[in-house]
């Protein structure tokens, strides 16, 4: 794969010149161009995306599009969609987009059509979800399942939790889901303490089925299940009875079905996927089984359909209309030309309260890299920090810094036209109050408040500077009719392709994650030193020795 150094392109030189000459003035930009909002607004499936409050003009947008062409974004996109091994450091195809292609499609990779397998697994998940939802799948004592506990971490947790929370109004009335991820024993302790083992089903989700946190939590959950079932007199304390309990209360999701069997889960109760699905791109694979059980197969199919609609848009829309590409290019503009170190994602939709956490893995595990796909160092800044909270909570916490701080923080605002809870407070429609805040914030960020405007309000001169808002703080506004399964799929696919676009410009392999390995290895080396192995303790650096010594002195 030939990597084009973006900083050597003609478009980069053009952008550098444009940035030098550019004095952001969104007030003037809107005043001088009544069509600006319309000209900078795009649609992508059900998403209405207003880019007009970004720090761009037509020339900048043209140069960003030219940059996409010069770095070969189209070829890289097509290579991904057709199953080329663009994840070079792991020598893998990158085919999460295949997971949402309709049945009947064909996608031949290395001589094999992957689509029949994709739909075979999907059908198996749908049949399983039906059984659990219909009460046909029962626990050892014949009771239907009331709680599904997903045990996973990273991509095997963040996507499922986020989507489950986002689609709460679609969840089956008898079934609640919980998620155990952290190896901190308080996580499983809290999540399990009030559950009835007879009505609880565990899904152990791990692509590799080797992840320390997940396997530790899965073993603890299995012990909890046995202990509680025996205590309740639901099963005998025998090997046979324990096996029977696992068969009824544990299923697995993994690419490593041999390891699933080693854990004691019948491979018939396992849902597979493939090494060409990256962990952080896997909520639309079998990793989404917990979601499918919660919302049902029809809704899950709509969810996948939402992804696919955005995939089609990304695959076919010209760059100037292509929303994921444009948003990715705008992020490059801010990171590389304005030195923006972070990007806030602010959903005005409480159900999306885990969206930023989910995006953190998607974006930062993908593009938080200093080495390109060809092993050479990157030539410019990469991988901004993504963060956020739902509005209006964020407004009362960190918006101060976005409005008046010294760093430029581009923000994506997300809102739905309709709420699942239409509610009035007196005459006021409460959803409209939420939207008023959304619109007000993007307006305040773009247009600010001048010193003269502050003075005109009668503010004492010594307080004027503190009350000035510079404005010209860039935002993208994303709206959709409602937070349906399809729209949630669309939002995820949108950010997947934004992330991909940025990675292509920077020459990064956005699908590996070597940066998480060292800490995992060291944790395994350090573990013996913590409790008792003094020889292992001696091998540690002075700071680590001191920390462990403190721990040993304090533990009870």
Q: Give the C-alpha separation, 203 to 472, whole Å.
A: 47
Min dist. Cβ of residue 385 to ligand F6P (A): 18
Choosing from 213, 365, 389, 496, which is the catalytic residue?
365
DSSP assignment string, 79-111: HHHTT---BTTTTB---GGGGGSPTT---EETT
- Please pick, from the candidates 280, 313, 403, 431, the single residue that binds ligand F6P as defined by CB under 6 A: 280
Task: Verify whether residue 365 is a known catalytic residue.
Answer: yes
Instruction: Write down the least CB distance from residue 280 to ligand F6P, Å.
Output: 6
**By CB under 6 A, residue 206 contacts ligand F6P:** yes
Interaction of residue 216 with ligand F6P, rule CB under 6 A: no
SS (H, E, C) 6-60: HHHCHHHHHHHHHHHHCCCCHHHHHHCCCCHHHHCEEEECCEEEECCCCCCCHHH
Q: Which residue has the tokens 């920090």?
A: 385
Q: Is 477 in the site for ligand F6P (CB under 6 A)?
A: no
The three-state secondary structure class of 112 is strand
Compare residues 234 and 290 and give the one whose CB is closer to ligand F6P.
Answer: 290
Distance CA 412, CA 405 (A): 17
Does residue 59 carry a catalytic annotation?
Answer: no
Peptide bond into 81 cis (omega under 30): no
Residue nearest to ligand F6P (CB): 279
CA distance 505 to 528: 44
Q: How far is the CB of 156 from ligand F6P (least distance, A)?
A: 4
Task: Give, as ranges, the residues between 492 and 551 that touch ligand F6P (CB under 6 A).
Answer: 513, 516
Judged by CB under 6 A, which stretch of 204-212, 378-386, 432-440, 441-449 contacts ligand F6P? 204-212
CA angle 102, 272, 488 (to 5 degrees): 50
> Which CB atom, from 439 or from 514, has the smaller least distance to ligand F6P?
514
For the question of residue 396 being annotated catalytic, the response is: yes
Burial 120-144 (b: 16+ CB within 10 A, else e): ebbebbbebbeebbeeebbbbbeeb
- Span from 106-114, 203-211, 377-385, 469-477 in contact with ligand F6P (CB under 6 A): 203-211
Q: Would you say 183 and 213 are in contact if contact means Cβ atoms under 8 Å apart?
A: yes
Q: Could you give the dihedral angle defined by the CA atoms of residues 474, 477, 483 and 486, in that order, rounded to the nearest 10 degrees?
A: -100
CB atoms within 10 A of CB 437: 16
DSSP-assigned letter for residue 254? E
Q: Pick the stretch among 44-52, 207-215, 439-447, 491-499 that binds ligand F6P (CB under 6 A).
A: 207-215
Interface characters, 345-384, with ligand F6P (x: CB under 6 A): --------------------x-------------------
Asked if 214 interacts with ligand F6P (CB under 6 A), we say yes
208 contacts ligand F6P (rule: CB under 6 A): yes
- CB 121, min distance to ligand F6P, A: 16
Query: Which residues in this chain contact ligand F6P in the complex, by CB under 6 A?
Result: 153-156, 206-208, 211, 214, 279-280, 365, 513, 516
Provide the annotated active-site residues.
Answer: 365, 396, 520
């Amino acid at each position: 794969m030939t990597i084009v150094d973006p900083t050597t392109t003609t478009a980069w030189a053009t952008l550098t010149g444009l940035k030098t000459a550019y004095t952001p003035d969104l007030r003037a930009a809107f005043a001088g161009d009544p069509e600006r909002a319309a000209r900078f607004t795009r649609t992508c499936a059900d998403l209405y995306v207003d880019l007009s409050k970004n720090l761009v003009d037509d020339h900048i947008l043209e140069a960003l599009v030219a940059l996409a062409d010069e770095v070969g974004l189209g070829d890289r996109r097509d290579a991904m969609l057709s199953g080329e091994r663009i994840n070079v450091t792991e020598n893998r195809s990158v085919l999460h987009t295949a997971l949402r292609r309709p049945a009947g499609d064909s996608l031949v990779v290395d001589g094999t059509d992957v689509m029949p397998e994709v739909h075979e697994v999907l059908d198996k998940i749908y049949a399983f979800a039906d059984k659990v939802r219909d009460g046909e799948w029962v626990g050892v004592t014949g009771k239907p399942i009331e709680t599904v506990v997903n045990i996973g971490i990273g991509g095997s947790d963040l996507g499922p939790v986020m989507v489950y929370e986002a689609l709460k109004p679609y969840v089956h009335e008898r079934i609640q889901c919980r998620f155990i991820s952290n190896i901190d024993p308080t996580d499983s302790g809290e999540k399990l303490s009030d559950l009835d083992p007879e009505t609880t089903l565990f899904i152990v989700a791990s692509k590799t089925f080797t992840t320390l946190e997940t396997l530790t939590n899965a073993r603890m959950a299995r012990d909890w299940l046995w202990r509680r079932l025996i205590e309740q007199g639901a099963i005998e304390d025998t090997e046979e009875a324990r096996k029977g309990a696992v068969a009824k209360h544990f299923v697995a999701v993994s690419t490593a079905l041999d390891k699933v069997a080693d854990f004691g889960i019948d491979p018939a109760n396992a849902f597979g996927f493939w090494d060409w699905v990256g962990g952080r791109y896997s909520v639309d694979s079998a990793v989404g089984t917990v979601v499918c059980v919660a919302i049902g197969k029809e809704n899950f199919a709509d969810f996948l359909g939402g992804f696919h609609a955005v995939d089609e848009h990304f695959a076919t829309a010209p760059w100037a209309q292509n929303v994921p590409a444009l948003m990715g290019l705008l992020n490059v503009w801010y990171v590389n030309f304005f030195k923006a170190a972070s990007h806030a994602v602010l959903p005005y939709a409480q159900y999306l309260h885990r969206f930023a956490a989910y995006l953190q893995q998607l974006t930062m595990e993908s593009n938080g890299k200093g080495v390109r796909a060809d092993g050479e160092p990157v030539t410019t800044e990469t991988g901004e920090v993504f963060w956020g909270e739902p509005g209006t909570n964020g407004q009362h916490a960190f918006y101060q810094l976005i409005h008046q701080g010294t760093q430029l923080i581009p923000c994506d605002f997300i809102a739905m036209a309709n709420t699942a809870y239409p509610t009035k407070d007196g005459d006021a429609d409460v959803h409209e109050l939420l939207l008023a805040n959304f619109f007000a914030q993007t307006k305040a960020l773009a247009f600010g408040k001048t010193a003269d405007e502050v003075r005109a309000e009668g503010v004492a001169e010594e307080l004027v500077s503190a009350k000035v808002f510079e404005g010209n703080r860039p935002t993208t506004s994303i709206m959709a009719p409602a937070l349906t399964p399809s729209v949630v799929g669309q939002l995820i696919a949108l950010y997947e392709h934004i992330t991909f676009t940025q990675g292509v410009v920077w020459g990064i392999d956005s699908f590996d994650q070597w940066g998480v390995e060292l800490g995992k290895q060291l944790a395994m080396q350090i573990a013996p030193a913590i409790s008792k192995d003094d020889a292992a303790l001696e091998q540690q650096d002075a700071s680590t020795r001191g920390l462990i010594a403190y721990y040993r002195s304090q533990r009870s």
